[in-house]
Amino acid sequence: MKEQIARFIKDSVKAKSDMLVGPHIETIESAARAIADVYKRGGKVVAFGNGGSASDAQHFVAELVVRFEVNRRALAAIALTTNTSVMTAVGNDFKFEDVFKRQVEALVNEGDVVFAISTSGKSPNVVAAIEKAKEKKAVVIGFTGQKGVSMKEKCDICFLAPGDSTARVQECHILAIHIICSLLEETLFGKK
């Protein structure tokens, strides 16, 4: 069992180390700049995903609304996975593929950031919401895995996390989200 645990830790460290090569650092920086620009214009972030990605979207929104490392004013952000009445109504009255798309239609304004997370890059409800966000002229930031190339083509900025498993992709996503939160607080509030 100890060997298994050591292997999991080494795999996680490798995936995160792989973020140091290729476009990963520039992509994270671009995402942070785009979000900061939206906040400077008075816009908001709308985040969503399924399963563990839903939790990551909610985690990100909590860091924005409450705080990451410094006390500062709240930043406008919504996680589309938290309103179960809307999600179940859309799933019942329309189809599950529309649970995020319908909310993007209702809540996203031109110039807002839509933060879409799908480890595979193929989640039909995430892709449908991305397409609706593009129609509304939102800035679309996608977080996916290295195989999510089709999602990357639909986004303005897309972080393709290194790693071959969903777990490693999610671990890289949360690291990138924390980096973005730190950069936002520094950029918007001048604090490290």
- What pLDDT, on a 0 to 100 scale, did the predictor assign at position 163? 80
- Residue 176: which residues within 8 A CB-CB, separation 6 or more? 19, 24, 28, 31, 143, 159, 161
- What pLDDT, on a 0 to 100 scale, did the predictor assign at position 164? 78
Distance of CA 171 to CAs 35, 41, 61, Å? 21, 31, 17
pLDDT in tens, the chain (192 residues): 989 999 999 999 999 999 999 999 999 999 999 999 999 999 999 999 999 999 999 999 999 999 999 999 999 999 999 999 999 999 999 999 999 999 999 999 999 999 999 999 999 999 999 999 999 999 999 999 998 888 999 999 999 999 879 999 999 999 999 999 999 999 999 965
- What pLDDT, on a 0 to 100 scale, did the predictor assign at position 192? 59
DSSP 121: S
- What pLDDT, on a 0 to 100 scale, did the predictor assign at position 54? 97
- Domains of the chain (ranges; CATH) run 2-189 (3.40.50.10490)
How many residues comprise the chain?
192
